[in-house]
Structure 1
Amino acid sequence: MSLIKRGNTWWIDFTTPAGERIRRSAATKSRAEAQELHDKLKAESWRVQKLGDKPKRTWDDAAYKWLMETQYKKSHLDDVSRVAWFQQHFRGKLLDDMTRDLIAQVAEIKAKETSPSTANRFLALVRAILRKAAFDWDWIDKPPVIKLYRVQKTRIRYLTPVQANILLNELPEHLADMTKFSLATGLRKANVTKLEWSQVDIARRVAWIHGDQAKGGKPIHVTLNATALEVLTKQIGKHVTSVFTYKGKSITQVNTKAWRAALKRAGIENFRWHDLRHTWASWLTQQGVPLNVIQEMGAWESPEMVRRYAHLAPEQFVTHARVVDDLLSGTNSAQS
């Protein structure tokens, strides 16, 4: 049977002249609309087989193929979630009908739901899928031009040492230990919560993050300072595998009610766990650590990611600016 009703939705099921079985949702409760789509798809499959026309592909086809081909990506689960959100707007849409205006309308919905920066991440996925459909799969002649929102760069949020100590005193012990370790190492949340004893060598004062655990896909060497060693030593014997635990179980979530309550008691607003990493980098910058060293220690892939901390290092720049003073005053040692 060419049309099948499942629940309130009609499904299409037929075999093309080439022997390929087409089975998909018509995304409608109307049998007449489902029949119309069925006839259209069947006619197109005939033209593809008999006349050599390019087959008409849908967003569903492209999204599914993308997810199957990119399962290795660290952001695969994010892609799955974003594709699921787009389904309410793009389900059943032919790729040829996905115009710039249509995509912009859907992006506006996401921007209002969340923020322009979040909408940009969703738009980037649509753009990548449609480019793949055009340039790799040859499903469409060319992808539509997709413009991202212009997002104003936000200031770096970090704590002063005084604020950090106030927060540490307000946190429950297990979160205080993780917070102090994050401030001491600059590691991302996942690298702290998933840290295992097999990745730590206290005697050599080092730890390491495996490449498949790192955001950039490259191993991270962590030099353990006295603060980090103090925290790690305190965790010895609590768990066989995991470094940070709570009541004998590995910690997976840190953005908890206890974390938010501690922030409130400490009088700290607009602060996320990830801002502990910003705090670490900001402190190093303010104390004169060169940006290229911070980039290496923090495992940032590009210098641009670290330059956002440059404004926190005026003293470093003053030293270099004084070179001109020496030149103009004739006291430059190189000249003499």
Structure 2
Amino acid sequence: MAGTVFIPRPKPQRRDYFDTSQGAAPRATEQPRGVWPGGRPTVADAARALIHHHKLDWSTTTLRNAEDYLLRGRFPEYLAHEGIVHLDQLSTQIIEDYMAVHADVLKPSTLAKFRGYARALAKFCKERPGYDAPLLSDGRDLPRPTVPKRKLPMALSADDEARVVAAAKPGRDRLIAQTLLATGLRVGELCALTVDQLETLRDRPPKLIIVGNVHNRVLTKGRRDRIVGFRDTYRSVPRELLEWAAKARPPSHLREVFLSDADHALTTWGVEQLMQRIGKKAGVRCNPHRLRHTWATRCADAGVPMFHLQLLGGWESVEMVRRYYTASDLEAVTALSRFRT
């Protein structure tokens, strides 16, 4: 209401990825209400018309996000508090004020997403007859939130690495964690691994030949096949993988090594959920990409040449190896002690 200060509600605790206690938001399929000539459309009418207009060229996720940002939750709450119902009441300043009020509540990246949908709404109103918003610009002058640079996942410490392995359930789950830590495989490559590829584990030294991933079965991200070995810490993993695949893997017509059940291969999202559960049990923030960082860091600290790491990791440049490496003061001091200086 006019004269009172709008206080945004605190951000709720984000649900774990594997928490399915609440259903997903419904898809943006509601038909927009028609605007009669001379009628006075509301902000909600314009938002629904925008979503309907982009029904064919926006993805389902984008449509659902647009509905969440413009029609549900914080933005409608703020408009109701300010007494704004109709589109001709909405101004660029109101949107700027909304973003300023929520700057301490929402992440900059969330505000940046809202800004994108607000700009789309403003542009739609400028171009679409019947949705006049004289106080609303085309959205290009909306302030851009300062989004901090995304920090790459840091490698696990040796103690955290041991806790993650110990927290994984023996069998499939532990072998997945150990394989990621031992080889530095990308999660898509792990999920595409087939029982036929395990035959090279019998070689000396054991190795895996990676020929593709879940998105492209015949081409890796680096666009070429590569050979990966195993860290000495996990020297027993190749033998354990062979034994598990022969005796404990569920019988299935599928050739993928890791399965959700007899009829479904494990997906990348399934591995993400698994790592989150293991990390929660171990008290460590854990995901497959962080395990790849850990692999690169352990190999570099052990003295594996950078160019060899580049080949093993499937990177196009040595600079990528540097980005995946997590420096440690203790490791730096230990490395220095090996040299006569």
Residue 145 (str. 1) matches residue 145 (str. 2):
no
Higher RCO (CA 8 Å, separation ≥ 6 residues) = 2
Secondary structure class of the residue paired with 2:142? coil
Contact 2:275 2:288 (C-alpha < 8 Å) held by counterparts: no
TM-score (normalizing by structure 2): 0.53
The separation in 2 between residues aligned to 1:64 and 1:296, in whole angstroms, is 48
Using the aligned pairs only, state the percent identity: 13
CA offsets 1:269-325 (integer angstroms, 9 cap, x no match): 33445422332233244345538954982558995895363645986xx99xxxxx9
1:175 to 173, 176, 184: 173
1:309 to 295, 319, 325: 325
Q: CA deviation at 1:191?
A: 4.6
Secondary structure class of the residue paired with 1:179? helix
Paired residue type of 1:126: Y
Q: CA deviation at 1:59?
A: 4.2
Matched length: 262
CA offsets 1:144-170 (integer angstroms, 9 cap, x no match): 334123437658433234432343233
Which residue of structure 2 lines up, in the alignment, with residue 223 of structure 1? 227
Residue 282 (str. 1) matches residue 280 (str. 2):
no
Q: CA deviation at 1:83?
A: 2.0
Which residue of structure 1 lines up, in the alignment, with residue 285 of structure 2? 270
The separation in 1 between residues aligned to 2:121 and 2:321, in whole angstroms, is 28
Larger % of strand: which? 1
Secondary structure class of the residue paired with 2:56? helix
The 5-angstrom pairing of residues 13-32 of structure 1 reads 24-25=32-33
Q: CA deviation at 1:102?
A: 0.9
Which residue of structure 2 lines up, in the alignment, with residue 69 of structure 1? 57
Which residue of structure 2 lines up, in the alignment, with residue 245 of structure 1? 259
Which residue of structure 2 lines up, in the alignment, with residue 4 of structure 1? none
The separation in 1 between residues aligned to 2:224 and 2:156, in whole angstroms, is 24
Secondary structure class of the residue paired with 1:158? coil
Which residue of structure 2 lines up, in the alignment, with residue 16 of structure 1? none
CA offsets 1:132-188 (integer angstroms, 9 cap, x no match): 969xx9778563334123437658433234432343233112211111122233344
Residue 99 (str. 1) matches residue 99 (str. 2):
no
CA offsets 1:22-81 (integer angstroms, 9 cap, x no match): x7237xxxxxxxxxx5344599xxxxxxxxxxxxx944444455563354xxxx63x344
The separation in 2 between residues aligned to 1:302 and 1:124, in whole angstroms, is 37
Paired residue type of 2:294: T
Secondary structure class of the residue paired with 2:32? strand
Q: Which runs of 5+ in 2 are unaligned?
A: 1-30, 80-84, 129-136, 201-206
Structure with the greater alpha carbon radius of gyration: 1
TM-score (normalizing by structure 1): 0.53
